[in-house]
Amino acid sequence: MEILSGLPSVTLLYSGLALILIFFCLWYLRRVTVKEVSPVSNTYTPLPDGAYDVCIVGAGPAGSVTAYFAARAGLRVLLVEKKKFPRQKICGDAVCTQAQDIMEQMESATGKGSVLDEILREGKGHAAVNGGLVSPSGYSYIGSSVGEENSGKLARSAVIAIKRIVLDEKLARSAAHAGAHLVEEMSVEDARFDADGSLWEIRGEHASGSSGTTSFYARVLVCAGRCTIASRDASGHSERSTSGDMLPCLR
């Protein structure tokens, strides 16, 4: 206040006018540069009869989990599997803690608890209490995931061994229980995007070969297995132009 009182009145007047001018300029710039954006309307047309929001090719863990949560979100989901369950799969069969968390969120097909709970209750999952590693130089480490020193970190086994013949079917049946349409013994031969209809046409052939080629239609195509046609399109090695939504799903 002492400094202001010592300033000439003309200087104070000019300072006030300068502040007003600055605020006016800022207001004007904001008005001309910031435009009100109206909400984007949903451009999706209603699904044709028999079409799906999402088609997932491959009912392994990645495909079935994707199908489960998409169905729970209210989408119309098609899950296509080349083999018939139960089917064997060569794998290390180790289910890590992150995968265990996901399986805990998925309701089993029987409705009696989660997928993981059902597998453990049936005695088809076996916890790996001890584990470790041996380096090429000879250094090794063996430890316990449920030991006292790790009780505060995990409070459970870091890995549960579940055979894929069990795991894959449990997850696929869970997805079907959630509302996904599971089609087994269907080999996907081709996938083309129709820009006019904004739909994928997924062509498959039944394992028996008796029913010929079957076509399915979906807005989004998820490749969650050895879908060679879709994989080739996604990697850009196909001569066809595919501008539709196609998502590779990591296993």
Residue 69 has pLDDT above 50, yes or no: yes
pLDDT, greater one: 28 or 106: 106
Side chain identity, residue 222 = V
Q: Using one digit for the tens of pLDDT, what is the confidence trace for 174-199?
A: 999 999 999 999 999 889 988 777 89
Q: Using one digit for the tens of pLDDT, what is the confidence trace for 12-59?
A: 566 666 667 776 666 666 654 545 545 545 566 788 899 999 999 999
**Same domain, residue pair 73 and 146:** no
**How high is the mean pLDDT of the chain?**
80
Q: Using one digit for the tens of pLDDT, what is the confidence trace for 74-101?
A: 999 999 999 999 999 988 899 988 999 9
Alpha carbons 48 and 235: distance in angstroms, whole number: 29
**Same domain, residue pair 147 and 227:** no
Domain that residue 102 falls in: 94-134+142-162
pTM: 0.71
**Same domain, residue pair 72 and 190:** yes
Q: Is residue 33 part of a domain?
A: no
Nearest Cα neighbor of 220 from 243, 182, 247 is 247
Tell the residue number behind the tokens 């800022």, with chain if given.
26
- Find the length of the chain: 251
